[in-house]
Amino acid sequence: MIVRHLSDIEDTDADIKTENWRSKRILLAKDKLGFSVHETTLYAGTVNDFWYANHIEAVFITEGEGEVENKATGEVHQLKPGSIYVLNDADKHQVRPKTTMKTVCVFNPPVTGREVHDENGVYPLIVEDDVAS
């Protein structure tokens, strides 16, 4: 059994902070669960371009409001507490929080916590065995 609290994550190397968002990586590849779980806060008024070419991500909104745009189709979906969007087709997307949004994100394959978005908003595919060696 794994039990963690967000306070265990805060200000560690699993707490990633940028100008637009903060991601607390609660469960990572090293936990060997086949997925990772993050609490991500997106700041009001920011524009966030992402493309998870190597991962499937599910995002559940717990607080705040905003919108997500599918960059391939131009379709825009409104987001509010209780909304979920799933990037199941390597969807290039843009998230625009109207207010500060808190989300719970699940990644498959799991992230290691060491990934950094590249210029296209993509996380590289890193497996935990690669990091250990």
Question: Could you tell me the CATH number of the domain that includes residue 48?
Answer: 2.60.120.10
Range of the domain at 24: 20-108
Percent of the chain residues past pLDDT 90, beyond the cut: 77
For residue 92, the model assigns a pLDDT of 93
| Phi, psi angle pair for 132, to nearest 5° | -70, -25
Q: Contact, 91 vs 22, CB < 8 A?
A: no
Q: What total number of domains does the chain contain?
A: 1
Asked if residue 102 belongs to a domain, the reply is yes
- pLDDT tens for each residue of 51-67: 888 889 999 999 999 99
Task: Flag whether pLDDT at 74 surpasses 70.
Answer: yes
Q: Give dist(CA 98, CA 66) in Å, integer.
A: 5
Give the pLDDT confidence of 3-16 residue by residue, as tens digits.
999 999 999 999 99
Residue 113 inside a domain? The answer is no
